Amino acid sequence: MKRKKVLVIGGTGHIGSYLIPSLVAKDHEVVVFSRGKTAAYPEGFWEKEIKMVTVDREKEERTGRWPELIEETGADIIVDIICFEPESAQILIDTLTGKDVHLLSCGTVWVYGKTRIVPTPESAPRFPENDYARKKAIIESKLLQATREGKVKATVIHPGHITGPGKTFVTPFGDHNPENLQKIIDGEEIYLLDGGFSTLHHVHPQDVASLFLRAIEKETRAIGESFNCGASEAMTFWGLGEYFASLFGKEFYFQNISLEEYTEKFGYPEEAAQHVRQGCCVSMLKAQEVLNFTPRYSAREAVALATDDLIKKGILKVN
């Protein structure tokens, strides 16, 4: 693939931190838009090989300068990792209409809502259950409709629960609180909602970055499509707890409790409730068949690597 100019919007976050080194390694010219509030992870050689532009997207969209800033980059490819508002997607559609630019947008597996088909294919209907997911579903619809109308050339990637170095991950309870992980390490009991039989679909951020890169390389097949991005398999909450405990040679101790009983005793655990009651197990067949993409990391490997990083940072402590 010939050298191209790639604009990454939100490039110092978890996905961008893995995507940008891959783009640099492929000899692309890379421009990154970032608010400058998040340090890239992992740090590396590539920071000197890119053009970093500090910019506040929300502010520039309000002032009307955002389209101008986009056009000034002269990008052949735009990877938009932080498009959270349908209005933001519409601005990009209007800005890029008629231009030969491949626009890749980061969605979420949460657009499917409660799991109805296991594993869930991209053709499944969208039943988003929270504001974040509803907006992402609208964004996906806007981008793909504009592509069908010949206005833009868009691809949407739907990552699962991102799990890897540099970030906490969803615990067996269903939140991102490392205290629940520490309890397991210490051999203590944690609460397990609804029996722990719902599913989580972890994915290493490198695999998400790699799927974006594959969609760039095979743009003729990727344009106008959406792709799930999860690990090669999903895990139940109970399976995650058992595996996590096994990393430390411990038994997994838990108290099974219904969401209703937990809410009555301690209050409604919003994040955990959404993870548990929605579930997540997406199919990776389309990415394999259309883009010849297979995740490198299993869910267990992603969890193990994320855990090792949390220990190195002192967030988790091993006795």
Does some domain include residue 313? no
Question: Average pLDDT per run of 10 along the chain, which is 319 residues long?
Answer: 90 88 92 77 63 92 97 97 97 97 98 95 96 98 98 98 92 97 97 96 96 97 98 96 98 97 97 95 98 97 97 94
- Nearest-angstrom CA–CA distance, 212 and 286: 14
Does some domain include residue 95? yes
Number of domains in the chain: 1
Q: What is the reported pLDDT for 48? A: 64
Nearest of 173, 226, 229, 176 to residue 201 by alpha carbon: 229
Nearest of 118, 162, 107 to residue 280 by alpha carbon: 118
CA 268 to chain centre: 25
Does some domain include residue 140? yes
Strands 235-236 and 199-200: antiparallel
pTM of structure: 0.94
Does some domain include residue 132? yes
Q: Look-up: residue for tokens 């492929």?
A: 26
CATH of the domain at 118: 3.40.50.720
Residue 132: domain span: 5-162+203-229
